[in-house]
Every structure is written in C-alpha cells, then in structure tokens.
Chain A
Amino acid sequence: MKRKITMALCLLPFAVFAGGFQIPQQSIKSTGLGGAFTGICTDASAVFFNPAGMTNLFGQNVTIGSVGLFPSVSVLTQDNVNTNQTTSVYTPIEFYYSGQICKNFWVGLSINNQFGAAASYPNTWEGEYIVQTIKLQTFMFQPTIAYKICDQLSVGAGFVYSLGTFGGSKALPVSGATTSGDTTRNGEVNLSGTGHAFGYNIGLFSKIFEHKADSASNSWGEALTIGVSYRSGMPFTVPNGTADFTDIPASIASQFPASEGVSTSVSLPAVLSAGVALKFSKGYNWDFMVAFDFNLTYWSSYDSLRFNFADPNTPSSTYQYGWSNATAYRLGVEATYMKKYTLRAGYYIDNTPEVSSMTPEVVDGSNAGFSVGASYKFNCGLSLDFAYLNSNFTRDNVSFTSQNFTASYHRIVNVIGFGVNYAFNCKCKKSSN
C-alpha cells in the first residue's frame, strides 16, 4: 500500500505583525497624561503625535527617551493549566527633533518604534501549534515639515519610512523525527524576515486663543489648543523571509526543507487622532493643563496574512483576522510650579481590535488605566521626564475561532519611561513666559 504523503497542514497562522503590538507610549510626557498629546505638543515628540504641533515649539528642541515595557501574561487553557508567557522586557526608544528655521517654518525628525513586542511560551503548552515565540520590531524614520499660517492654524506633514523585522516559531503536527531521540517530538517551523514600508503623517494644529497671565498682578491666563493628525497605514512587504523547519521526519522532508524562502505582505493600520488641551496659569508660579485625545486605529484593514513559500511543495497559508477598528480615549491633567516642577496624571480607555476573538500571539483586551508622570527642569535648556503607566485586564474563555483554541487571559503591563529634553539656543525669558 505504498503511497506518497502530502501533508495538508494548517501551517502558519502567524499574527506576526499584529495588533496589540502598537505601542502608544511614544513620549514620556504623553505617557504620564494617559497618552494624550495631539492637542498639547509641548515637546519635540509633537513630530510624531502631530507634525503641525512643532509650531508650538520655539527654536530647536530635542527629546530622547525610552520606555521599559514589563509585560506579564498568563493563560489558563482548557486543560485547566496556567501557562505564563516568558516575556522579555521590551524597550522601545524615541528620538525627536524639532527645529524652527524661520518665523513660520519648522523641520523635524522622528525616529521611534511604533510597533513592537516579544513573547514566548514554553514549547509544551497547549497552544504550541499556534505560537511558541514571536518577535516584532519596527523602526519608523520620519522627516517632517510644519508651516504656521497664523496662530490659529498650522499645518505639518511627514514622510515615513519604516523598517520591520519579525521572527516567530511554532510547532508543526508531524512527529517521527529522531534527531532528539524522541519519535513523538513534533516538528517545528521558525520564520524570520525583514521588510519595509512607506507612509506619511499629516496634522493640523491651532492655538484657538491665548491670554497670558500677568506675573506682576498674579492674574489668571488661559489658552486653548487643538490638534488633528493622521498617520497613514504602512503596507509592509517581506520579500525575502526565511522559513526553517526542524525535527521533520525524513519521509515527509521533501515538503518541509530545512530552510526555504518565504514572502508575505501585511498592512499596519492607519491612526487618526484628535486632541484638545486647555491651559490655565496663575501668575508666574502656577500652570495647569487639562487635555483630551481621541484615537481611531483602522485595524479592520489588517485583514489577512498570506505566506508564500519558495518551494511549491510546502502548503502556503492564508490567515484571516477579522479585527475591528479600535478607539481610545485619553484624559490627562498637569500642574507645574515655578516652571520647574511638573506632575501629571492620566486616565485612558483603550479598546482592543480583537473584540470577539483572541489569539495567544497577541494577547490584547480592552482596558482602562491610570498613569502618572513628572518633569523636572534643571535650567531653561535641560529637563527630565518620568512616567509610569499600568495596564491590566482579564478575559475569560475567549476563543481563537479559526484555530478552535479557547483560553482565559490575564495581562498586566507596567510601563516606566525616562526622557531628556534639550532646547538649544533657548531664550530663558521668552520660554518662561
């Protein structure tokens, strides 16, 4: 009864470039304010949050920072076993530059990691055929310009080049290879690749009104600023990825060569943001701010992922997500004393694109949380920022429908960020107004 075997495997439902991988903490100040910044734009991270907001900054400004994301994820599978992700700390970096060229014209540069994550599960867990390890990193490079038409209207636009690297591994349901001496050991596939994408970032910024406080009479001042920005989707292509198959029995190895090329493409979603900031000041000593941001991430464009293998014998695989667009609401308050000491607090509601389904590759859930932040200004040029944010959610018995995998998830992420701001050629008196 000799026969050739063609394994029809549901091979690679990887969510490698996926969703909860968006990192909203792209500025330390913003992190302390629950993520609001589109209408605030008080440091160089405006280049990223709202290009037009650069016009709110005097002279040349640099902001450098990094956040440490400390995720902790546990999964309770149907066999009543708790599995903890062994998740490494992820530290996205950020570099922002905003420079005023003349009265009405600014140039800027933003370099950051807008999407990224790393997670791994033990290779004996119930979801090993869905994901064992996954890793994603993107670098966004964004040269930007802004033009101030008048106080009430500034416009800005940036060109985005993004470089992404991904890697992931999972078990394959074929056993029999004896390399490990255990014939019941399953095969495994490792995917890795590098891709790039182009996009843009545009924004509007408006100082609706500004009445300055008079420090001499200790009177009240008010200001209202609003901003709108749109970061386009990023259509990634990964033309030269690699798929490595290990522990494949010799009798079906022709289908799964030790290493072969793989290509895929995927669109990272567009984000629309709108924000408003209301500032009060009393005399010289006190400044207060209340800010609100709304974000809409177009995850529904994140539709399907198809892997094409160089070897025609390897079954290619298309994977449907069916995610929804996701909204976020962010509220932040800030108090500054003597233009030197600042405290911040924020509250946010972040809705997940994985509304009715959940993949263990991207453990995500709608959650609300608080953040705190602080800044200290050493002198007119140098200031330091700190922020802390905690996100926590539990989702009971949610299914990854297409793979028939049901589990409960608990995720806590602690985010701690430090940043440094430097204003060149600053004019102390003017900036302290």
Chain B
Amino acid sequence: MKKILTISCIAAALIACRKTDFTPASVSPGSANFTTYVAVGNSLTEGYMDDGLSAYGQGHSYPSILAQQMKLADPSMAFLQPMVTGNGSGYIHLAYVNGQIDPINATDSTYVNPTGPDPSWANWGTTLQGTFVNNMGISGIRLTDCVSDGGLEKSINWVVCSQNPFGRFMNFGNLGVPIQYIDHIRSSKATFFTCWLGDNDVLGYALNGGVSSSPFPGVTLNNITTPAEFAQKYDSVLTAFHNIGAQGICMTIPNVTSIPYFNTVPTFVLVNGVRKYFYIQTGNGSVRLATNNDYILLPAYDSVTAGCGTTIGRPIPNDLVLDAAEADSVAVATVQYNNSIKSLAAQFGYGVVDMYTYLQEFQTSETIDGISFSRTFIQGGTFGLDGIHPTARGYADVANQIILEINSKYGATIPQVDITKYNAEIFPNF
C-alpha cells in the first residue's frame, strides 16, 4: 500500500509538470512609426461593403483592422474613422424567397427593408468636417480627382469631390478656393500611411460598360485616366507623404475584370448542350454575338434571365457589357498603373502589396485556415453582394497581406488577424 501511495505521489508530481502554453510573441513596430496612421484610397479603404457604407462595413474596413493590429505594437496610437450611424447609406442584404436567395437593394421598398438607409444618412458627414480622421478613404474617388495643378481641372475636381456624398466628412473648400484631397494629405501629419488609390481610374469605366457619363457640363466621369497622368499624380501623392516624413505601404490595382461583377452573368446559354452566345451591343454601337472575351455585367442578371440578348433585335445594351476591346483597354491601363505604383514606391522607399497578383490567385479557389475563398458571387466568401467590394472576411485578408509587408519592410512583428473571426455573407434563415 505504501508503495502504491509513493508511486501515486510521484505520478501526480510528474503530471503536474506538463505545461505546454506558449508565451505569445512580443509585438514590435520595428522601425515603423504608427503614431499617426493615415489611410488614403477609395471605397475599398472607406469600408464600403454590399453596395453601401454602413457602420458594420466601416468597422471592418481594412484600415480599421490594420489599426487594431498596429495598436498591439503601439497602444497609444489613435485611429478615427468618419463613422456613419447604423445602416448608413443602406446596403444590399439577402432575402430568402420561394426557395431562392435574392439580393435586395437598399432602396428596394417592395417590403420592409431592414438594410435601407439610416435617417441620419442625408446629413452625414458635414459635422465631421474639420475633424481629423485617420481613414481618409472616399468611395468613388479617383486618383485623377485628388490633385491638379490648377485651372479648369482643379474646378472639375472640386465639383466631383464636393458632390460625392461619401466624401462629405472632408472639407473641400469652395469653388473659388478649393481644398484638394492632396492638401488633406499634406496637412495630415501622417507618420505612416497606406495608399490604395487608383482603382476607380479604370473601375468606373469598366463598371459602366465602357460608357462615360457627364453629370455636369464639362465634367466627364467614367473614362480611363491616362497612364501618364496616373504616374504623375501618384508621384504627387507619394511626394506629399514623403515631404511630411511618413513611412508607408502602397497597394497595386486589382485586375478589375476578375471580380464577380464581371463574371457572374455568362456570355451564353446552353441549349441542348450547345453554347448559344448572347447578342451584345459593343462600345461603337454595333451589335454582335458575344465571345468568351466579353464581360456581361452583374446588373444585367435580371434582364438576361428575362430573355434579353437572345435575339439580334434585343441585344444586351452597351452599358451592361464590357466588350473585348473595352476590357483590353482596362487591362492595359491597369498594368501600366501598377508598373508606376511599383516603381514610384520603390523610388520613395515605400513597401508594396501587389494586390493585383494576390487577387489573381482567387480566380480559382484559395483556402485559408480551412475556409475556402473564391471570386464566385455570394458564396465565394471573398466579395460581397455588389460583386465588387470584399466581405469583412475579404477585408481581413487584405489587412493580413498589408501586415506581412509592414513586417517585412519595417522589421515589425505585428500578428495577422484570425480571418475566421470575420464573416462572409450572412445567409437568410427564413
């Protein structure tokens, strides 16, 4: 008995020494200075999600996720976003109707819409003017709108910026004395920045099927910014950051035609196993059969389902088609923009996250932590219900890519976020 007791005591002591816990690694900013982090960019930066700007989307913007991780290295840093209230501008949600899933727009009032605009949205932002915000992303803004040497272009930029509801938090001055977007960069006191400007310089054109529009006399939207102008203005933005001594990371422009908006509606229907291509109206107005190099845009979904495009007399209209020639000009410009971004960032000594290359991988399917990501509309998990902007999970992954680059460029040890904590689409339950 005594022996058994002795043995049991030894056993208990041995079992006690089995602590395996890891001490989490210490988080260091390395040579980076996160005191004032400024994010510049467009809708992707502002936190636009499911075709709207909501508090949820802003709370899951990649700059906000990034700042949360930067704070682990520098707990004293402050990070402010121009928050909307609740649904903000309103956004698309999924409904479950007669056994099918249906994305419902913010403005759809067929029945009570739980994701319609918040009443405060109409006046959102104006009271924030004058308050410094760290997330300066403005949905819809192009690089070309950010800076101008003067003259008519400066006035046009003022019109475009000041009329943009998603930029109402920023003071653009008045037509006589405009304050440019780049002026806000210059006065930002940024010590660290991320720059994801430039998507809309091709995306606006592509989303509109290559059709430009003129909302105000003398103002043309949705054309492709020339690569020379892009390079010059990108240089101005980086110079502005350089002059205030900021460190930072630049992101390249994704291949816009790889997103669900351009890949969900097929260019043909299968009739008895044979591909019957749709009739489309091309950029020059002519009507022809679609090919595999044309893209039919997501908003054409319902009209194509209703038979549009099946006869020559009823082609899919020009503004719902990015035809092969238009797609080609988008692709050419994107590559040239990205060459400029990479060479300018290198010239200024800034880091680069090649989002173009990274998002190409999602064309098939990627798995992260056991979750599959693809570019498939709705269920792919990467892109939200507008087929353009990432889900919260997608934004978390963007933030993780930037963290990798910050760590490698500045010797920081910021941990990546756990993407499993971020949601993709919420599926309806009734």
Contacts and interface: CB of A to CB of B under 8 A. Distances in A.
B379 A80 contact: no
Interface in A64-84: 70, 72-82, 84
Interface in A141-197: 170-171, 173-178, 183-184
> Interface residue tally of chain A, by bracket?
35 or more
A388 interface: yes
Contacts of A84: 20-21
Interface string A2-28: 111111111001000000000000000
Contacts of B164: none
B367 to A, nearest CB: 5
Given A4-B100, A84-B21, A404-B366, A414 B427 contact: no
A125 B379 CA distance: 23
A213 interface: no
Nearest to A405: B369
Contacts of B3: 376
Given A5-B379, A72-B18, A126-B418, A174 B369 contact: no
Contacts of B367: 10, 402-404
B216 interface: no
Given A184-B423, A249-B427, A386-B7, A410 B370 contact: no
A4 B72 CA distance: 43
Contacts of A3: 100-102, 378
B20 A405 contact: no
A376 B2 CA distance: 14
Contact of B428 (A8, A10, A173, A251): A251
A250 B102 contact: no
Contacts of A76: 22, 24-25
Contacts of B15: 70, 414, 416
B378 A80 contact: no
Nearest to A416: B11
Nearest to B422: A184
B366 A250 contact: no
A174 B427 contact: yes
Contacts of B72: 80
A408 interface: yes
B77 interface: no
Interface in A369-408: 376, 386, 388, 390, 402-405, 408
A339 interface: no
B290 interface: no
B376 A129 contact: no
Contacts of A81: 24, 418
B149 interface: no
B275 interface: no
A243 interface: no
A127 B7 contact: no
A102 B237 CA distance: 95
B102 A80 contact: no
Given A3-B100, A6-B379, A173 B426 contact: no
A127 to B, nearest CB: 7
A173 B372 contact: yes
B14 A74 contact: no
A252 B379 CA distance: 11
A78 B371 contact: no
Contacts of B365: 8
A79 B429 contact: no
Contact of B18 (A8, A128, A412): A412
Nearest to B419: A126
Contacts of B25: 76, 80
Contacts of B425: 175-176
Interface string A46-77: 00000000000000000000000010111111
Nearest to B23: A82
A299 to B, nearest CB: 22
Contacts of A170: 370
A1 interface: yes
A322 to B, nearest CB: 15
A249 B428 CA distance: 6
A411 interface: yes
Interface in B343-377: 365-372, 374, 376
Given A72-B20, A84-B20, A5 B101 contact: yes
A109 interface: no
Q: Which of A6, A70, A176, A412 has the most chain B CB within a 10 Å cutoff?
A: A176
A4 B193 CA distance: 42
Contacts of B97: 2
Given A175-B423, A178-B429, A5 B378 contact: yes
Contacts of B20: 72-74, 84, 410-412
A250 B100 CA distance: 11
B416 interface: yes
A82 B94 contact: no
A8 B371 CA distance: 11
A129 B420 contact: yes
A173 B99 CA distance: 21
Contacts of A1: 102-103, 301-302
B21 to A, nearest CB: 5
Q: Which of A3, A4, A402, A408 has the most chain B CB within a 10 Å cutoff?
A: A3
B378 A70 contact: no
B379 A250 contact: no
B14 A126 contact: no
Interface in B275-314: 301-302
A130 interface: yes
B265 to A, nearest CB: 10
A10 B417 contact: no
Nearest to B428: A251
B394 to A, nearest CB: 13
Nearest to B104: A1
A403 B100 contact: no
B7 to A, nearest CB: 6
A251 B378 CA distance: 13
Given A1-B103, A8-B376, A404-B366, A78 B22 contact: no
A150 B128 CA distance: 97
Contacts of B102: 1-3
B369 A126 contact: yes
Contacts of A7: 379
Nearest to A183: B426
Given A79-B415, A388-B14, A390-B14, A251 B96 contact: yes
Contacts of B370: 10, 13, 127-130, 170, 403-405
B371 A173 contact: yes
A404 B368 CA distance: 5
Nearest to B302: A1
Contacts of B111: none
Q: Which of B301, B368, B369, B430 has the most chain A CB within a 10 Å cutoff?
A: B369
5 contacts: A2-B100, A5-B379, A77-B418, A126-B369, A170-B370
Given A173-B371, A175-B425, A177-B429, 7 more contacts: A10-B367, A76-B22, A128-B420, A249-B428, A251-B427, A251-B429, A404-B367
- Which are the 9 A-B pairs with shortest beta-carbon distances? A129-B370, A176-B427, A80-B415, A249-B427, A76-B22, A130-B370, A74-B20, A251-B96, A79-B418
